[in-house]
Amino acid sequence: MKLRNLSILLMTFALVFILNTSQSIAQDKPDSTTHKHKMMGKDHKHMMDMKDSTSMHKMMKDKNHKMHDMKKESMHKESMHGHMTDSIIHDGLIDLQAIDKNKDGKVFQDMMDWNVISDEAGSCPLCEMKLKEVSVEEAKMNLIKNGFKVKE
């Protein structure tokens, strides 16, 4: 009889130990996590609640849906404007004289994405800010000051 009671006691202890251990492991899982991304040339960090996995799943689904909509919208804009948004983002050696098509000595430049330059008013396809009208010389100084190469 004592052996049976000891066996039951030992099994109860083992069960309590296993349940307690699994609870502490589950509690070690963070309730939030840090989400990092780059936006407008700057690093951003956000804390996200991880308690509700369904809300996390919904958020990712919504994010993917928005990305799909943005891609669709971007493709629509390109077809509507003859790839205008791509042509105002300049890489490599930037030729301001070629950008100034009407030769008035002025261009429109984004004040955050310095390599976004157009001869017409508009907004930046990267950050949606309104382009500022500046002289070709001022645009050149902005580009050089921010590490871009400009054709002389």
- Residue 141 clears pLDDT 80, i.e. is over it: yes
11: which 2 tokens?
């099994």
Mean pLDDT throughout 28-54? Answer: 56
- Residue 110 clears pLDDT 50, i.e. is over it: yes
- State the DSSP code for 59: H
Domain ranges of the chain: 84-150
- Residue 28 clears pLDDT 90, i.e. is over it: no
- At 21 the pLDDT is 73
64: which 2 tokens?
């993917």
pLDDT band of residue 107 (cuts 50, 70, 90) is very high
Quote the CA–CA distance of 119 and 139 in Å, as a whole number: 12
pTM of the full structure: 0.47
In angstroms and rounded to an integer, the radius of gyration of the C-alpha atoms of the chain is 29
pLDDT band of residue 63 (cuts 50, 70, 90) is low
Q: How many CB atoms lie within 10 A of CB 74?
A: 13
- Residue 17 clears pLDDT 90, i.e. is over it: no
Quote the CA–CA distance of 148 and 53 in Å, as a whole number: 44
- Residue 111 clears pLDDT 70, i.e. is over it: yes
84: which 2 tokens?
């205008």
Quote the CA–CA distance of 151 and 131 in Å, as a whole number: 21
